[in-house]
Amino acid sequence: MGRLDNKVAVITGGASGMGRAIGNRFVREGAAVVLADLNEKGGVEVVAECAAAGGKAVFQQADVASESEVKNAVARAVKEFGRLDIMVNNAGVGGAMGRLENVSVEDWDRTQAVLLRGVFLGMKHAIPELRRFGGGSIISTASIAGISGDFGPHPYSAAKAGVINLTRSAAAELAIDRIRVNVICPGGIKTPMFIGGGGFGHDDATIEATMAKLQPIRRAGRAEDIAAMALFLASDESEWITGAVMVVDGGALVAHRNAISAAATGSGYAGPSFQRR
């Protein structure tokens, strides 16, 4: 038996990185998944991976900043698989970069639209379906940047802090409906979004060695580390856990000397990892 047998999940940002790993892990544990993402090519590839593992998955193109597209992703799960049990709000971007006085209002708003409004919309449209089927699990991806600001650019850190507190307040509201709401705060994870800005090297061995130095556990963070935590929070094993902030960072927060300190680096806007600007 799988830990997610007969459960149905929507995973935003499911076409690459942590979302891809979550999708693959969920189907191996018996779930059917809707992979919602802008990246059609990546989404189709992940669907094929899930099918090869004997799982059920479909791709739904969706911009999480668009209410209608998030609503459609949730509706797709119910249409294809008959129910919804798990909502994973994972889609992300690096967003607006650089010193605070140089960040444009437009780039600030675009960052918040994906990282914070997207989570709100995922919660909003998942709640009625989760309630209708007797409860379930909402899992959002924040960041250690939402706990300690110098791990990320200013707009990114602010948005992730918002995700953490939205998780807490939503958990208090929704417990009566048997809907658990929790948040994962990754550290530096070796995904296209994290390493795409450069500074980690160009070959795999160099990237691994550089990222291993970012935290006390001396290896690069992996998307599978986040997928393992998402699996626990999605499963019935976590049925008495809600409003929790689950830090998965190899110890980066407890050894602050290795902070990424990205607040004042770069400039402009770091878009989706498959479509960087």
Domains of the chain, by residue range, sit at: 8-190+223-248
Catalytic residue among 120, 156, 200, 269: 156
- CA gap 61, 73 in Å, rounded: 8
Nearest to 197 by CA among 101, 268, 252, 250: 268
- How much is the pLDDT for 151? 82
Tell me the pTM.
Answer: 0.93
- How much is the pLDDT for 270? 83
4-26 core/surface letters (b: 16 or more CB in 10 A; e: else): beebbbbbbbbbbbbbbbbbbbb
Topology classification of domain 8-190+223-248: Rossmann fold (3.40.50)
- How much is the pLDDT for 235? 98
Token pair 């969706």 is found at 62
Token pair 């607040």 is found at 263
Active site residue 269: no
- How much is the pLDDT for 86? 99
| 8 Å CB contact between 85 and 130 | yes
- How much is the pLDDT for 272? 77
Within 8 A by CB and 6+ apart from 205, the residues are none
Token code pair at residue 225: 């580390």
- How much is the pLDDT for 149? 82
Token code pair at residue 242: 């809600």
- How much is the pLDDT for 277? 38
Single-letter amino acid, residue 202: H
Token pair 């007969």 is found at 6
Q: Which helix (H) or strand (E) element contains residue 231? A: helix 223-234
- CA gap 230, 22 in Å, rounded: 7
pLDDT by 10s per residue, the chain, length 277 = 899 999 999 999 999 999 999 999 999 999 999 999 999 999 999 999 999 999 999 999 999 999 999 999 999 999 999 999 999 999 999 999 999 999 999 999 999 999 999 999 999 999 999 999 999 999 999 999 999 988 889 999 999 999 999 999 999 999 999 999 999 999 999 988 776 655 677 788 888 898 888 899 999 999 999 999 999 999 999 999 999 999 999 999 998 654 445 444 667 888 776 664 3
Rama region for 259: left / alpha / beta (φ>0; ψ in -120 to 50; rest): beta
- CA gap 9, 231 in Å, rounded: 11
